[in-house]
Amino acid sequence: MSKNQLNQIISTTKFTKTDKNIFFLDTPETSYKITTSIDVDLQEYLLSVLDRLKKLTRGKPQRIAFVVMEADTGKIIAMTGFDLENPNANPCIASNYPAASIFKIITASAAVETLGYTPGTTLYFNGNKYTLYKRQLKDVKNKYSCKISFSRAFAESVNPVFGKIGKNHLGEKRLESYADAFGFNQIIHSELPFFSGRFETNSSEYHLAELGCGFNTDTTISPLFGAMLISAVVNSGDIMLPSIVEHVTDPDGKIIYKNKQATYKKAIRPETATTMMQLMKKTVSKGTARKSFRGSSKDAVLSKLTIGGKTGSLYNKEHTVKYDWFTGFGNEKTTNKKIALSIVVGHREYIGTKAGTYAKMILKKYFKKTYATAQL
């Protein structure tokens, strides 16, 4: 069976709505048994979280998506969520979420490779960290300027710093080149084909600043693509092609399709990926994800992990939904077992549980089981 044939067979399978990892599908020609990579315990856990959210009157998200993937293989081990406006959609592969500051991963990678930035590179900005006025994009250093390291600017998601990097130092061609290297503007031909996300420049210099720091609603990503971005950082620059099917058997038990692990793209150099991991670890320990992961160093499970990530937050164009992102990784220190996570929550009027908190919950749930197994 070819991947295209498999696409057609599983196109209507509701992977996001079930806690099974084996599916039986009947076609006019024959029947198939499809074994997936879904971790039943983790999927059940996330489905129970969603069930509780759906019953809320206050704090129920408009949209929410969880994607958990083996970072070094691309195997999807959990994928679920909901969209109140479109209940039949798979919110994990929808590509119309604003990328927000998640795009700083691409900008930072480009700065490391083409500008020679290191975590300790000294940078300056004027004004508020989270605004992006044109006056903040001048390369000036005066008595009102704030001095900041590159790693801290990333960890704290400082918009003027990344706006200046995008507009003044990288420019249109390099931003486009790195967006392409990571896989923007492409249909990902996985077992569940999906569009990665949109990145487009225009003639406005200010727009380059908006793009560089993610402070715009034009750049979009899908949650599954968010997990792929993280796989590049964790895998020495290699983006893994996501998969959900392990194998398919016919009525006689013969395997007619078997998943083959594949690298989708080489996005960045290994040394760049190492630097990006440092930046992401600082985001969790001292940056915008710090509150969500408070107490992790003393936790029986989380203390055994190396955790990193990037947060993002932005309203939609109508200002009715505030999207809140966490994309990141958890690596078990002794076994080097690693997962990539991509979580987005579309909050309505009331801001409920944040994406970073869900990430902490997922890491604890998943590695608690694997750690307990290792102890046996």
Contact present, 309 and 289 (Cβ < 8 Å): yes
| Chain centroid offset of residue 293 CA | 17
Phi/psi of residue 126, each to 5°? Answer: -120, 145
pLDDT of 226-237, one tens digit each? 999 999 999 999
Please determine, looking at this structure, whether the domain spanning 3-373 carries the CATH number 3.40.710.10: yes
In the block, which residue shows the tokens 């994009």? 137
Tell me how far apart the alpha carbons of residues 21 and 246 are, in angstroms, rounded to a whole number.
10
Q: What is the pLDDT of residue 27?
A: 84
The confidence band for 92, taking pLDDT boundaries of 50, 70 and 90, is very high
248-271 mean pLDDT: 95
Query: How many residues would you count in the chain?
Result: 376
pLDDT surpasses 90 at 28 = no
For the chain, state the CA radius of gyration.
21
Beta bridge partners of residue 325, listed in sequence order: 312, 344
Q: How far apart are the first and last CA of the chain?
A: 39
Domain range list for the chain: 3-373
Helix axes 40-54, 355-375, angle to 10 degrees: 150
Could you tell me which residues come within 8 angstroms of residue 158 by beta carbon, excluding any fewer than 6 positions away? Answer: 125, 129, 130, 148, 152
pLDDT of 173-189, one tens digit each? 999 999 999 999 999 99
Q: What angle do CA 70, 73, 77 make, to 5 degrees?
A: 35
Q: What is the pLDDT of residue 376?
A: 45
Tell me how far apart the alpha carbons of residues 216 and 274 are, in angstroms, rounded to a whole number.
28
pLDDT surpasses 80 at 374 = no
The confidence band for 29, taking pLDDT boundaries of 50, 70 and 90, is confident
Residue in 233, 303, 242 with CA at minimum distance from that of residue 275: 233
Global confidence as pTM:
0.95
What rounded mean pLDDT belongs to the chain?
95
261-269 mean pLDDT: 96
Q: What is the pLDDT of residue 105?
A: 98
pLDDT of 132-159, one tens digit each? 999 999 998 999 999 999 999 999 999 9
Residue in 119, 142, 44 with CA at minimum distance from that of residue 275: 119
